[in-house]
Structure 1
């Protein structure tokens, strides 16, 4: 396999290719539309050797990750943890790529790496500090943008500080992060309920992912009552991926010394005036800890995480749901679909076969 990869790299270097790209057209308000992005075909790129002293890497992109946080980069707002996209430039996101040439001593031609790359077929990456070499194992490469995305692991174990027997609620539970949080919680000896937006997803949570319970939030007229039905004794841990009215309802149902991990706000991402939270007083009465986090805060745990989750997957103790779209041209529709819940599991785009 390595010999084949090396041969392909040698054949590509020095050639001129048509580099298909997804371009960000301009800052937006509201829910993203496919027309906010443009597929650019016909731009040529010379696959020359990387300049000496640049520390850069030339890569062929294999898989790209579709994530709700990218919506935040589509507005001209500098207060986020990542800068906004630049209108007229290639969209950036997390991906898995094959190295064609590199001036970075950590990477050599033929290596498979993960990290931030462009939504294009070939990228020249100079910000190589966040790139990581993927070691050969039995995991599908695409899992390195999802199952091995680290957010669920860091958030659950570090922010939620779980104890055996805890009552755990996960919103957007069939998504990329939620599906793994729920399964880790079950393996930890917790009682786990998830919410999702379709009957199909609810069935998957209970039948395939092993959740103790699940409900379709779109069918509930009163989220507070829904949570009381599933958690008559209250919630110890709420892993929040959606914010808004679900967070408000969860606050009413927290137990004393409960923990809330704020991982995402998908219900608020596209609102010009995000919803207010009314029940924050419960943080005082129930002595609840609510904390936002980024997985990058916990990178020192990454080696342990990689070992743990790879082992659990290989033992069949973790099921992983992946929603794969074929071709770079499917990127805009796959991304937009995140905001109407079209995906089941982690949304991935396959740019090229490896």
Structure 2
């Protein structure tokens, strides 16, 4: 049986504060057999093509993560996350050699996966870049779709604000809102990202929050008549300012709070009283609760992509050895668009 080296990214130990590249170890000291014995059932062996770097992975580096929808990484073991993989061997009846799949996999070149139907979804349409299944057609896309349509319940003409707007989820939310007939403003952390939002992704307006000494004044500049929908990705001072500028009966979908993930304790929020005074509906959600909508989501998104009505910006690094730096870069805003790690091409 043929064996090959299997480069892997291992988690070193639980952390506090901002993650560092040194919190992970890239190693090639293990091998993997490229055949599955016939007596081993319901397994697939995959060649990993793309890995997805996502902010939620920071929480998995904590010892005290509340086990709600995912688990902490285990020190000394390989890391895991969303990715696109190709089946190279299988003893599972639902998969065949050559299948392309997206879902949860290990951060390594090859993975042996047990019970793959619980964590992997077959890719039916390959007329778009495969990397899109780590983003616009994968978990981030579903997050944007569910948060905007199911949580925010938009109405034509709504005034929509999206924080972290150039990221994997935010850029999709903004485009869905524009297609729905909303006025859309986004915030981002650099002038390059602001230019991207306005001139490529199609937001009506965007601003660099790092250049705004007064976030309340910035929001009033773009929303003189208040905000109907806020898609929350950052938390902290931005959320505080938004609450004060929300419309009566405004809606807030709480997707993430990336500004808070590396803090202990979290920043306090001063303006929560406006949830009452303005009858605001603010709801957190987990995308896993909406995966039953995936067929409906694909039927909506694929035509929009293929017709050029929606675009997607990716920031791709090549090589599994660069995966730790790519993940760490999310928390200082180094990525422009969805952060993807290319492990191997489909050939």
Give the TM-score normalised by the residue count of structure 2: 0.96
Whether the 8 Å CA contact 1:170–1:193 is kept in 2: the answer is yes
Partner of residue 72, structure 1: 59
> How far apart, in 1, do the equivalents of 2:38 and 2:268 lie?
50
Q: Which is worse superposed, 169-178 or 46-55?
A: 46-55
Partner of residue 307, structure 1: 299
Partner of residue 4, structure 1: none
Whether the 8 Å CA contact 2:59–2:65 is kept in 1: the answer is no
| 1:218-229 alignment runs, 5 A limit | 218-229=210-221
> How far apart, in 1, do the equivalents of 2:236 and 2:64 lie?
21
Whether the 8 Å CA contact 1:50–1:102 is kept in 2: the answer is no
Q: Which is worse superposed, 41-50 or 311-320?
A: 41-50
Aligned pair 1:325/2:317, yes or no? Answer: yes
Whether the 8 Å CA contact 2:47–2:110 is kept in 1: the answer is yes
Aligned pair 1:243/2:252, yes or no? Answer: no
Q: Which runs of 5 or more residues in structure 1 are unaligned? A: 1-13
> How far apart, in 1, do the equivalents of 2:50 and 2:302 lie?
19
C-alpha displacement of 1:272: 1.6
C-alpha displacement of 1:44: 1.2
Partner of residue 9, structure 1: none
C-alpha displacement of 1:52: 4.0
Partner of residue 180, structure 2: 188
Structure 1 residue corresponding to 2:134, chosen from 145, 152, 162: 145
Q: Which runs of 5 or more residues in structure 2 are unaligned? A: none
> How far apart, in 1, do the equivalents of 2:154 and 2:55 lie?
26
Give the direction of change, closer, same or farther, for the CA distance of 1:71–1:127 in structure 2 (3 Å limit): farther
Give the direction of change, closer, same or farther, for the CA distance of 1:195–1:57 in structure 2 (3 Å limit): same
> How far apart, in 2, do the equivalents of 1:177 and 1:44 lie?
36
Q: Which is worse superposed, 96-105 or 308-317?
A: 96-105
> How far apart, in 1, do the equivalents of 2:266 and 2:327 lie?
21
C-alpha displacement of 1:103: 2.5
Give the TM-score normalised by the residue count of structure 1: 0.94
Structure 1's consecutive aligned runs of 4 or more residues displaced over 6 angstroms after TM superposition are none
Aligned pair 1:108/2:96, yes or no? Answer: yes
Partner of residue 158, structure 2: 166
Whether the 8 Å CA contact 1:243–1:265 is kept in 2: the answer is yes
Partner of residue 257, structure 2: 265
> How far apart, in 2, do the equivalents of 1:79 and 1:266 lie?
17
C-alpha displacement of 1:56: 1.9
> How far apart, in 2, do the equivalents of 1:214 and 1:120 lie?
37
C-alpha displacement of 1:100: 1.3
| 1:332-343 alignment runs, 5 A limit | 332-343=324-335
C-alpha displacement of 1:104: 2.2
Partner of residue 46, structure 2: 59
Partner of residue 45, structure 1: 32
The alignment partner of 2:156 has SS state of: coil
**Residue-pair matches, total:** 341
> How far apart, in 2, do the equivalents of 1:237 and 1:306 lie?
24
Whether the 8 Å CA contact 2:135–2:168 is kept in 1: the answer is yes
Whether the 8 Å CA contact 1:96–1:145 is kept in 2: the answer is yes
The alignment partner of 1:264 has SS state of: coil
C-alpha displacement of 1:15: 1.1
The alignment partner of 1:208 has SS state of: helix
C-alpha displacement of 1:137: 3.0
C-alpha displacement of 1:136: 3.3
> How far apart, in 1, do the equivalents of 2:99 and 2:226 lie?
48
C-alpha displacement of 1:168: 0.1
